Structure 1
């Protein structure tokens, strides 16, 4: 699965193109039984919280390309035309299950998100370009003090892709699951016991400004931690937080070759990187330069974009994915052959993505989407099936 960073401030069409549309890449050639037009999704509230839960199924209808929402029966509703300034969106909230209870809704063939919030409904607005989603890195966002989170999914003719994500923030914990055609159930996303407080404790104790990612209510209640990308963009995390590591990588590969084998199923496809000045050039086996990267800054590393842009092609994108994973996990100095998929090598340098390190450390199965290409080496928190019987979303306790 190719996961892309989702930016909550973007209209949903952009988010869907970056997330769900790419979830299905390569899936269309998988043969399987017919996938129904809607699929049962059971939401179980194991949070232990007494406040009401609100659910939202928002995304892009795959058959029409229209943006909209689905009600509890899986019926699609297109968004009306928005305005400038943005206008309030129709109330798409589905009342969720009380603590200790479950609710089953239907989800349509969609590429989008399942949002859930505690205590208050989320505020959504519409621009002329589509839906504006919560952007809590902005202190004036109306959702700033609401405890909420979301899962991402694509349901299409080739099956279901459903993941938990911390690409944009770590917040209210949950797990996802799927019942397969043979009746077995696969799930991922649960925290370890004490994982909620363990994550925030680790981030707050980390030197170098990482504690600035944590957002709380005025009474000190934890709400979330922003991703380091948003930390850099808002000044909550120093912009030069990755500079030392990047400089060491650049120095190493000015005299050595970095070999990238981006496709696990194509081990003979290799690219060779060498640094010259401020540029890392990659050549193919014939010695032809196929792509080049300027020395990235922290923004590019954490977002896997800008100077580490990853187009949906067969050369630059796969190389960039590999570099992005290597920078975030700090494996590029450990092994000159990438990707390094040995988890014992991850996050061992003193300069690394400490947010991603803390997220993975608190996951029960070690799997998470803590940055955009965390699926390199199969480290992502994803369930997928070509002929799903049912999907699951479990709201877990905070601590």
Structure 2
């Protein structure tokens, strides 16, 4: 297991909207099991308690339990599992004021450990991870005084299908994450058929069960995807903007805030309207693009971070050559180049609403699978059929 503590990025989606009414201490969440799979389901509500900043888990009633002190090597965590609904059944739990993850697993409980820095997450790109052969997935959420944000995510892997939803005070419900008919098996079939090593992302258990497809950054880490899979596109981008300008308008509500990128000496420098250089980027490798980090690091500031987010989205969607004004307003031209993030392309193609979190900044342009309400009455996770 990778020694990484549990974190979530949901609060980075934007400033919370003012609450319409006082958000209660807990909100009901109903799991509906439409998976068609026999055997037990286990649920875990893990994260950071917002009132104290402590890491821990919540039980089915929403009560918080802090993790005990961990060790090095990591020590077994307390059993935080909640028995989930059988196929065709539902189960309602309570979500506390948390920023964390809702894990669910089929057939077996997940193996969590605690280190001196907190909870260790499953890292299934590592074949020795104790959760490698377990079929599982997770949703990320934040519930605070300004409401509930909950998503379906494929940032780390595409696995057991599910959707999320939230019910507002007026009785309306917003949901996202459902696949098109045949979308689950269709995704794996399409990924396996892509040339260039993309089939290596698929992980299958010895009994033939398809467990997941790793996100491409994890695939590179595991040696399952060539490290240079995006190099040709990056080289063409660097060549184009050696003699032309890339304009980035990172804030949709600030159309006059623009930055101008040109490549000089192998470095893409961005200037503001006064011509002053505000940040620079080395030519990114594929892993930097897929992870939106390293050479495309995006600090939580008002200049480099927003520019990097936009660049990252443009590289993953392969729009930087076709549109010198970023980000793109619509998705019609996404993933059209032969060199692109095929994993993200195939996920978006198979989502019923076209929305997904297939890479870290898939929310650039609001293409993410996220629902939010400032006065949530009920939340939902639906475990969808695999066929």
Question: What TM-score, normalized by structure 2, do the two folds share?
Answer: 0.99
Whether 1:209 aligns to 2:203 is no
**What is the rounded CA distance, in whole Å, between the counterparts of 2:23 and 2:178 in structure 1?**
27
**What is the rounded CA distance, in whole Å, between the counterparts of 1:300 and 1:341 in structure 2?**
24
Structure 2 match to 1:192: 180
| Residue 344 of structure 1, CA deviation | 1.1
Specify which of 94, 113, 122 is matched with residue 125 of structure 1. 113
Deviation per residue, 1:152-196 (Å, 9 max, x gap): 000000000000000000000000000011110010000111011
Specify which of 4, 15, 30 is matched with residue 26 of structure 1. 15
Whether 1:386 aligns to 2:378 is no
Structure 1 match to 2:5: 11
**What is the rounded CA distance, in whole Å, between the counterparts of 1:318 and 1:30 in structure 2?**
23
Structure 2 match to 1:3: none
Specify which of 271, 277, 290 is matched with residue 283 of structure 1. 271
Structure 2 match to 1:346: 334
Structure 2 match to 1:43: 31
Whether 1:297 aligns to 2:285 is yes
Please list, as runs of the form range in 1=range in 2, the aligned pairs for 1:98-117 lying within 5 A after superposition: 98-117=86-105
Helix, strand or coil for the counterpart of 2:92?
Answer: strand
**What is the rounded CA distance, in whole Å, between the counterparts of 2:248 and 2:328 in structure 1?**
10
Are the counterparts in 1 of residues 3 and 115 from structure 2 also a CA contact under 8 Å? Answer: no
1:8 to 1:49, Cα distance in 2 relative to 1, 3 A = farther
Structure 2: where are the runs of 5+ without partners? Answer: none
1:327 to 1:319, Cα distance in 2 relative to 1, 3 A = same
**What is the rounded CA distance, in whole Å, between the counterparts of 2:38 and 2:49 in structure 1?**
34
Please list, as runs of the form range in 1=range in 2, the aligned pairs for 1:142-157 lying within 5 A after superposition: 142-157=130-145
**What is the rounded CA distance, in whole Å, between the counterparts of 2:119 and 2:209 in structure 1?**
29
**What is the rounded CA distance, in whole Å, between the counterparts of 2:165 and 2:38 in structure 1?**
24
Please list, as runs of the form range in 1=range in 2, the aligned pairs for 1:236-275 lying within 5 A after superposition: 236-275=224-263
Specify which of 144, 148, 151 is matched with residue 160 of structure 1. 148
| Residue 96 of structure 1, CA deviation | 0.2
Specify which of 220, 230, 241 is matched with residue 232 of structure 1. 220
Are the counterparts in 1 of residues 147 and 374 from structure 2 also a CA contact under 8 Å? Answer: yes
Specify which of 353, 356, 362 is matched with residue 374 of structure 1. 362
Are the counterparts in 2 of residues 11 and 132 from structure 1 also a CA contact under 8 Å? Answer: yes
Are the counterparts in 1 of residues 19 and 375 from structure 2 also a CA contact under 8 Å? Answer: no
Q: Give the aligned length.
A: 387
Are the counterparts in 2 of residues 67 and 130 from structure 1 also a CA contact under 8 Å? Answer: yes
Specify which of 317, 324, 334 is matched with residue 322 of structure 2. 334
| Residue 21 of structure 1, CA deviation | 4.0
Helix, strand or coil for the counterpart of 1:373?
Answer: coil
| Residue 10 of structure 1, CA deviation | 1.3
| Residue 22 of structure 1, CA deviation | 2.6
Are the counterparts in 2 of residues 173 and 396 from structure 1 also a CA contact under 8 Å? Answer: yes
Structure 2 match to 1:311: 299
**What is the rounded CA distance, in whole Å, between the counterparts of 2:329 and 2:213 in structure 1?**
26
**What is the rounded CA distance, in whole Å, between the counterparts of 1:283 and 1:212 in structure 2?**
40
**What is the rounded CA distance, in whole Å, between the counterparts of 2:336 and 2:376 in structure 1?**
38
Are the counterparts in 2 of residues 177 and 185 from structure 1 also a CA contact under 8 Å? Answer: yes
**What is the rounded CA distance, in whole Å, between the counterparts of 1:140 and 1:204 in structure 2?**
24
1:192 to 1:217, Cα distance in 2 relative to 1, 3 A = same
Moved over 3 A (4+): none
